[in-house]
């Protein structure tokens, strides 16, 4: 059973979703690895979320609801036999909170080169938890697997990335 949002639904949607836009934009970029596709994915997600906003249950995790919706749209539109080509996200596209030094730039480059060699499951869990900032519980819900699987995949993914990139 859903709880209706009182007042203007469009104002409620805007006020609730606007603060989550930077995280959604980053998650879309991590999924698509292309700025244009990421923006399209974000717009598609927001349109669908707006149309389905009456189904969202107030008091539940809105970000998890939006991430699941985005992931499903991504899987249906971008993942398939004709869309298997991988592109790389450039370092300029990443939002970094503190200025980086020369060593960090080199490390980031190594990580970027190694990223595509990770398995799909490892990239996915790193994108949700490390890039998207989701908790283990949120990641488990988003990816549809138990929390224990998230923990073990994340540990193996981090270890694989360290080994592939040489960054410790």
- 26-50 pLDDT per residue, tens: 999 998 888 888 999 999 999 999 9
Q: State pTM to two decimals.
A: 0.47
Rounded Cα distance, 7 and 121, in Å: 41
CA gyration radius for the chain? 17
128 CB neighbour count, 10 Å cutoff: 25
Residue range 98-168, CATH number: 1.10.10.10
Domain limits of the chain?
Answer: 1-79, 98-168
3-state secondary structure of 1: coil
Residue 75 has pLDDT above 70, yes or no: yes
Per cent of the chain over pLDDT 90 is 20
- pLDDT at site 6: 52
Tens-place pLDDT, residues 92-138: 555 555 555 777 777 777 888 888 888 888 888 988 888 778 888 88
- Class of the CATH domain delimited by 1-79: mainly alpha
């Amino acid at each position: 059973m859903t709880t209706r949002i009182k007042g203007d639904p469009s104002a409620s949607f805007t006020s609730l979703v606007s603060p989550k836009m930077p995280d959604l934009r980053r998650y879309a970029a991590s999924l698509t690895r292309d700025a244009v596709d990421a923006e399209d994915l974000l717009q598609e997600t927001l349109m669908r979320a707006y149309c389905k906003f009456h189904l969202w249950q107030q008091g539940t995790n809105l970000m998890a609801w939006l991430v699941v919706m985005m992931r499903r749209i991504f899987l249906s539109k971008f993942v398939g036999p004709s869309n298997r080509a991988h592109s790389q996200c450039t370092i300029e596209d990443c939002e970094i909170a503190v200025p980086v030094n020369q060593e960090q730039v080199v490390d980031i480059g190594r990580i970027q080169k190694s990223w595509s060699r990770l398995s799909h499951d490892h990239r996915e869990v790193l994108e949700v938890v490390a890039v998207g900032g989701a908790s283990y519980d949120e990641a488990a819900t988003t990816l549809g697997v138990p929390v224990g699987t998230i923990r073990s995949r994340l540990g193996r993914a981090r270890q694989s990335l360290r080994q592939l990139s040489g960054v410790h």
